[in-house]
A and B are shown apart, each in its own frame.
Chain A
Amino acid sequence: DSGVTQTPKHLITATGQRVTLRCSPRSGDLSVYWYQQSLDQGLQFLIQYYNGEERAKGNILERFSAQQFPDLHSELNLSSLELGDSALYFCASSATVTNSPLHFGNGTRLTVT
């Protein structure tokens, strides 16, 4: 168990809808990362937060947004969903922004129909 908790585990929704994915980092970790993994693909970095502030942005679509709350949990909001958004979404956390390894949750599998 990595200590990173993601909910829900599975999500099935229709095109055009909006969903929110939730992540609780490991105790003591200040940095949260979001990754997208499509079928048979690698990990695509979306966005990183550190202690409530956006730290780095990757290939995140404008339809997607995220935030990190004062209690350090994070939410990833996906709107105007398209079939191509179907993927595994992983949250990871680390103690700091430099050198600390990332610890991943077990992901949320999003299916858009």
Chain B
Amino acid sequence: GQQLNQSPQSMFIQEGEDVSMNCTSSSIFNTWLWYKQDPGEGPVLLIALYKAGELTSNGRLTAQFGITRKDSFLNISASIPSDVGIYFCAGRLSNTGKLIFGQGTTLQVKP
């Protein structure tokens, strides 16, 4: 079935570094959502993207809807310790409307 490939699976970086993660698929999507999950809590919506090529920022976070509509990336600039958590992408398939989640990227930031 359709699936999203989210990478990297985990990252361990130094405070102040920039971070980039992405989700790719062979399917076409009409919506991309990026979430962050802190331990023991529910995922929190960070950014929603609705158009191919769309580039949206939320503070130090920037996400883009790939022009092929098959991928999306999330960048975090100047990381800080509270950026620690699991980041999920989710894409809504254009043909079925089904929402698919990536497996998550675990981010650890060393002060």
B111 interfacial by beta-carbon distance below 8 Å? no
Instruction: Please pick, from A56, A98, A104, A109, the residue contacting B43 in the complex, using a CB distance under 8 A.
Output: A104
Number of contact residues on B: which range applies?
20 to 34
Q: How many angstroms between the C-alpha atoms of A101 and B48 in the bound complex?
A: 7
Number of contact residues on A: which range applies?
20 to 34
Segment from B13-21, B58-66, B93-101 that makes contact with A: B93-101
Contacts of B40 in A (CB 8 A): 88, 107, 109
Instruction: Please pick, from B45, B48, B102, the residue contacting A42 in the complex, using a CB distance under 8 A.
Output: B102
Bitwise, A34-77 to B at CB < 8 A (1) or not (0) is 00000000110100000000001000000000000000000000
Describe B's contact surface by its main secondary structure.
strand
Contacts of A97 in B (CB 8 A): 97
B33 interfacial by beta-carbon distance below 8 Å? yes
Instruction: Please pick, from B30, B33, B98, B103, the residue contacting A101 in the complex, using a CB distance under 8 A.
Output: B33
Indicate if the CB atoms of B42 and A105 lie closer than 8 Å: yes
Indicate if the CB atoms of B42 and A107 lie closer than 8 Å: yes
Minimum Cβ distance to chain B for residue A40 (Å):
9
| 11 more CB-based (< 8 A) A-B contacts, given A42-B101, A103-B45 | A2-B45, A4-B42, A42-B104, A43-B43, A99-B50, A101-B48, A104-B35, A104-B42, A104-B44, A106-B41, A106-B42
